Structure 1
Amino acid sequence: MSQAQDQQLERLTFFSDAVFAIAITLLVIEIHVPHPEDLSDRAWLLALLQLTPHFVGFILSFIVIGALWAAHHRVFGLLRHYDPSIVWPNLFLLMVVAFMPFSSALMSSHPTERVPEWFYTGTLLLAGLLQHRLVKRVLRAPYLREDVTDEVVATLRRRTMALPLMALLSGVLAIWWPGPSNLPLMLMPLMVMLFVRMTKSRAAGPIAETE
């Protein structure tokens, strides 16, 4: 990679990392400190208990954004050349990531309502599809490192299907069980492992070097 290409790729990566970091930090802003009128221990415990949906939403969205960042970090670590055509697909993914604190706050504030749940899972579905599109665009010759095998590419592409499938499942379950419908999203790491095992060879060498 030339010095100019190296700088372009680094700038794109650093900018992406900054957006992920800001989005994942903004999640906690929507968890407001309670101020119970009665300052007894019971009142404080009840006030904190009422924040449970916000705590769950924070953990869930933190995991999702963290998983998106980890995949982004892993994939961009396999590049040896800068490709100008990935800028806009990358920006569209970052746009949805930056929007996630709002959809997470909406869902957490109305944990038993279908529309806020659908809005949240729709955001995750869009993020997953944009991630899949970006990964397909990034992982192609001649921009990949020479040691990246076809098995590695297939594995990484399949991993990106976990989030859209789990988001779609959660959205469908929200028709009958809004709130508990988010539970499948907690199983996303297991779904990622399943997609990885579907690949004949995990080609752990190049992947491990970028993690």
Structure 2
Amino acid sequence: MLDPQLAKMRLQRLADNVFALSLILLISNVELPAISSEPSASEINALLMANLPEMGVYLLTFAVIAANWVKHVELFSVMKHVDRSLMMQQLWLLAFLMLIPVTNQFINVDDSQTLILVVYSLNLLAVGVMLWLGWRRLANHPELRIEGLDIDKLQARSKDTLSEPLVAALSIVAALHSSLAWELTFVLIPILFAKRHHLEPLKKRLSKQ
């Protein structure tokens, strides 16, 4: 028998741990270059330039995971409790999330392969869609959300969550053109994220006036 309140608390705790572990695994993928005991300025510059692409992918992936964590916190801030279907859907979200450091490592190995770029984009697309489905379930099941939320605003919030999955889908098309076009596509994610309001007024924005 499922205790809805306990299930929400345990699921939220698990999600925070998975997000944290994903970030830890992400930084562990960054390999420190070998540096001589007394490197010259030219050697340091060469090492920095050689590792810029890897650091760029790291920062990009960090921004993606961080943006999804914020949206996940927002989701749970308006969630009253969970049912079995929502719990399983959230577990799928965490499963795809844990794959991000793996697909990120593939890019660090070889970012010139179109298939690797597409797999990474599909991974982000799956995470975004799973998060969107969580919002959709809250919109369609009032018993799962806190009282006083405006359904129209909640549905609008659900559509807003599709921004990152749409960027991921667009990046798949860009990857078929070039790796540079693929990278530039993800610049949209921090731009879209910057336009979001702060987390604290979320309930007020979704509440009935």
TM-score, normalised to structure 1, is: 0.84
Aligned to 1:172: 173
Aligned to 1:24: 23
Aligned to 1:153: 154
AA aligned opposite 2:144? Y
- Deviating more after overlay: 143-152 vs 63-72: 143-152
- In the alignment, the residues of structure 1 paired with residue 67 and residue 206 of structure 2 have an alpha-carbon distance, to the nearest angstrom, of 16
Q: SS of the counterpart of 2:142? A: coil
Q: Alpha carbons of 1:190 and 1:40: their partners in 2 closer, same or farther (altered >3 Å)?
A: closer
Check whether the contact 1:96–1:127 (CA below 8 A) recurs between aligned residues.
yes
Q: Alpha carbons of 1:184 and 1:60: their partners in 2 closer, same or farther (altered >3 Å)?
A: same
Check whether the contact 1:53–1:111 (CA below 8 A) recurs between aligned residues.
no
1:74 aligns with 2:84: no
Q: Alpha carbons of 1:180 and 1:36: their partners in 2 closer, same or farther (altered >3 Å)?
A: farther
Q: Alpha carbons of 1:176 and 1:22: their partners in 2 closer, same or farther (altered >3 Å)?
A: same
- In the alignment, the residues of structure 1 paired with residue 130 and residue 154 of structure 2 have an alpha-carbon distance, to the nearest angstrom, of 17
Q: Report the Cα offset of residue 207 of structure 1.
A: 4.7
Aligned to 1:40: 40
Check whether the contact 1:111–1:179 (CA below 8 A) recurs between aligned residues.
no
- In the alignment, the residues of structure 2 paired with residue 112 and residue 82 of structure 1 have an alpha-carbon distance, to the nearest angstrom, of 42
Q: Report the Cα offset of residue 195 of structure 1.
A: 10
- In the alignment, the residues of structure 2 paired with residue 135 and residue 205 of structure 1 have an alpha-carbon distance, to the nearest angstrom, of 14
Check whether the contact 2:23–2:65 (CA below 8 A) recurs between aligned residues.
yes
1:83-122: CA deviations, max 9, x gaps? Answer: 2221111011101111100111211332233121111111
Q: Alpha carbons of 1:179 and 1:103: their partners in 2 closer, same or farther (altered >3 Å)?
A: farther
The correspondence of residues 108-123 of structure 1 with structure 2, limited to 5 A, is 108-123=108-123
The percentage of aligned residue pairs carrying the same residue is 22
Q: Alpha carbons of 1:27 and 1:151: their partners in 2 closer, same or farther (altered >3 Å)?
A: same
Gaps of 5+ in 2: none
Work out the number of aligned pairs and report it.
200
Gaps of 5+ in 1: 197-202
Alignment RMSD? 2.5
TM-score, normalised to structure 2, is: 0.85
- In the alignment, the residues of structure 2 paired with residue 143 and residue 161 of structure 1 have an alpha-carbon distance, to the nearest angstrom, of 21
